[in-house]
Amino acid sequence: MKSIIYSRVSKTSQSAQRQVTDLNGINGFEVVRTFTETISGYTRSAFERPELQKAIRYAKENQIEVILVHEISRIGRRTSEVLTIIEDLKENGIKLFVKSLDLLINGSGAAEAYNKFLVTLMADLSRMESEQLSYRIKSGLEHRKRNGYAIGRLYGSIESKEAFLDKHKKVITYINKGESIRWIATKMKISPTTVMKAKKILEN
């Protein structure tokens, strides 16, 4: 069957090559093109992913029979989105093959209803997994705040010396009193490196 591959990873530190290799190795599918993107499935909806939408358009315009994905979460982590995409593909005569489930969706036969049920279940589990991960991250940040730990700034941003010192006024007070770096770090529940940085800025 004439097919295309759609693969997705969430972070630039990850590679989609394993997904692509696995999908290319499946018998019975003639892969004519591969679409890959790096984008979070939790923070961006399926309809906001350029390569996914490009893959769907390509399939519709080029008589593609099947879109191959490694697992259902690659399409989306929201059940409603996944089902909407599956139905849209069905209306255009396009099937979806999910390797992790070894299922061909939008096919014919008595098993089709079961296949849709299984996809719905897996999409729901994927959504719950994402929500739990988000909850754990938020809970961890709140715990650090409650215990006086610094949360940190956005990656890539640069904090001025004045802003740094303003944020650590209590640390400066202890430094001026002559307390040791280790004592201040323990007292303030911050790393010794932070105390050393504040001390260095003051000395300069």
Asked if pLDDT for residue 194 goes beyond 80, the answer is yes
Work out the percent of the chain whose per-residue pLDDT is above 70.
73
Question: DSSP letters of 113-181?
Answer: HHHHHHHHHHHHHHHHHHHHHHHHHHHHHHHHHHTT------TT----HHHHHHHTHHHHHHHHTT--H
Q: Domain boundaries in the chain?
A: 2-131, 161-203
For range 26-36, the mean pLDDT = 94
pLDDT beyond 60 at 114: no
116-153 pLDDT, tens per residue? Answer: 666 676 665 555 555 455 555 566 666 666 666 655 55
Taking the CA of residue 164 as centre, how many other CA atoms within 13 Å lie in the half-sphere pointing to its CB?
15
CB 2 within 8 A of CB 14: no
Task: Tell me how crowded residue 183 is: count the other CB atoms within 10 A of its CB.
Answer: 12
Q: What is the pLDDT of residues 38-47, one digit of tens each?
A: 887 666 788 8
Q: Which CATH class is domain 2-131?
A: alpha beta
What is the model's pTM? 0.58
Residues, the chain = 204
pLDDT over threshold 50, residue 155: no
**Would the pLDDT of 29 be above 80?**
yes
